[in-house]
Amino acid sequence: MKILITGADGMLGTDLQEVLKDEEIIATDVDVLDITDKKATFDFVDDHKPDIIINSAAYTDVDGCEENKDLAFKINSEGPKILALACKEFDIPLVHISTDYVFNGDNDKPWKETDVPNPISVYGETKLEAEVAIQEILDKFFILRTAWLYGVHGNCFPKTMLELSQNHDEISVVDDQVGSPTFTLDLATAISKLIKTDFYGLYHLTNSEYCSWYDFTKLIFKLSNIDTKVKAVTTEEFPRPAPRPKYSVLANNLWKENGFEPLRSYKEAIEEYLSLVK
């Protein structure tokens, strides 16, 4: 299978390259293929004729998106729309990664794929606009809403906590936002299975079980034998430029309905991550 990966140098993109190494991979990042450049994208797809495109390119700085709104819409909404148009032109399926941030977080049970999105941040708005465009343009798409991603090849929450623990006796972490931390290696493996099928659609796809950022930090420190104290704080005590959804748990219904095994618990996944970054 000839697979074009965009944003391939990012956290998920790097793991996708690793997991799909037995396939014919065309790995590109913005220096080779800028997904916001329509002509360049159409020419590139025409020249390479991939069997499928996986878009892991994005502007993922959630707080940065609030300030740089135009850039955020360009990369997160226009770029995926251009890819969808290219996929339509050359009759290629598109895998696109979206986010729990399309929801407002006002819920007490896991969000279903059919629940109505209502983003509360610019990042969420840009990602939702891409989802809508892809569904309008294409029949053959996999839109995967995932959450709380971390991986070996990127700046991520566990890495930040491990770094902070090196020069702090105590750190404060938000305890009133819950979600499912998801390991990019597990997401990449799931994508490698999904692209062998024609089970197109909009999926929720995360590691199983959920926790707060505070719980997650406690677990990371326990598994790493770190004795830095963790203090639970509220979102109000820890203001950020972009509002975050309070309840971000995603029910992976379509994934299970299509016969796939649920992804392992986030507790197992973080253990493997920690063994890899030691």
Ligand X SMILES: NC(=O)c1ccc[n+]([C@@H]2O[C@H](COP(=O)([O-])OP(=O)(O)OC[C@H]3O[C@@H](n4cnc5c(N)ncnc54)[C@H](OP(=O)(O)O)[C@@H]3O)[C@@H](O)[C@H]2O)c1
Tell me the angle at which helices 11-19 and 184-194 cross, rounded to the nearest 10 degrees. Answer: 50
Name the one range near ligand X by CB under 6 A: 11-19, 135-143, 211-219, 232-240: 11-19
Give the Cα separation of 172 and 161 in Å (integer): 10
Name the one range near ligand X by CB under 6 A: 51-59, 104-112, 131-139, 268-276: 51-59
Give the Cα separation of 180 and 206 in Å (integer): 6
The binder of ligand X chosen from 83, 92, 102, 149 (CB under 6 A)? 149
Nearest residue to ligand X by CB is 10
Smaller CB separation from ligand X, 40 or 274: 40
Name the one range near ligand X by CB under 6 A: 43-51, 85-93, 144-152, 217-225: 144-152
- Give least dist CB 148 to ligand X, A: 6
How would you class 5 by CB atoms within 10 Å of its CB: exposed for 0-12, middle for 13-18, buried for 19 or more? buried
Name the one range near ligand X by CB under 6 A: 33-41, 216-224, 233-241, 264-272: 33-41
Residue 49, amino acid: K
Query: What are the φ/ψ torsions at residue 181 (nearest 5 degrees)?
Result: -55, 135
Smaller CB separation from ligand X, 163 or 231: 163
- Give least dist CB 61 to ligand X, A: 8
Give the Cα separation of 229 and 231 in Å (integer): 7
Tell me the three state secondary structure of residue 53.
strand
Q: Are 251 and 115 in contact (CB under 8 A)?
A: no
Smaller CB separation from ligand X, 36 or 229: 36
The binder of ligand X chosen from 17, 36, 104, 248 (CB under 6 A)? 36
For 268, the token pair is 């197992």
Q: Report which of 171, 97, 149, 147 is spatially closest to residue 251, judged by C-alpha positions.
A: 147
- Give least dist CB 64 to ligand X, A: 10
Give the Cα separation of 236 and 174 in Å (integer): 9
The binder of ligand X chosen from 3, 4, 10, 270 (CB under 6 A)? 10
Smaller CB separation from ligand X, 155 or 258: 155
Give the Cα separation of 60 and 52 in Å (integer): 23
Tell me the HSE value of 192 on the side-chain side, using a 13 A CA sphere: 19
Question: Which positions are catalytic?
Answer: 123
Name the one range near ligand X by CB under 6 A: 142-150, 208-216, 239-247, 258-266: 142-150
Asked if 152 is part of the footprint of ligand X (rule: CB under 6 A), the reply reads no
Asked if 75 is part of the footprint of ligand X (rule: CB under 6 A), the reply reads yes
Site track 220-239 with ligand X (rule: CB under 6 A), x = hit: --------------------
Taking the mean position of all CA atoms in its chain, how far away is CA 131?
A: 13
Asked if 9 is part of the footprint of ligand X (rule: CB under 6 A), the reply reads yes
Q: Report which of 172, 148, 173, 162 is spatially closest to residue 266, judged by C-alpha positions.
A: 148
Asked if 57 is part of the footprint of ligand X (rule: CB under 6 A), the reply reads yes
The binder of ligand X chosen from 3, 26, 34, 128 (CB under 6 A)? 34
Judged by the rule CB under 6 A, the positions of this chain that interact with ligand X are 6-7, 9-13, 29-30, 34-36, 56-60, 75, 79, 97, 99, 146-149, 154
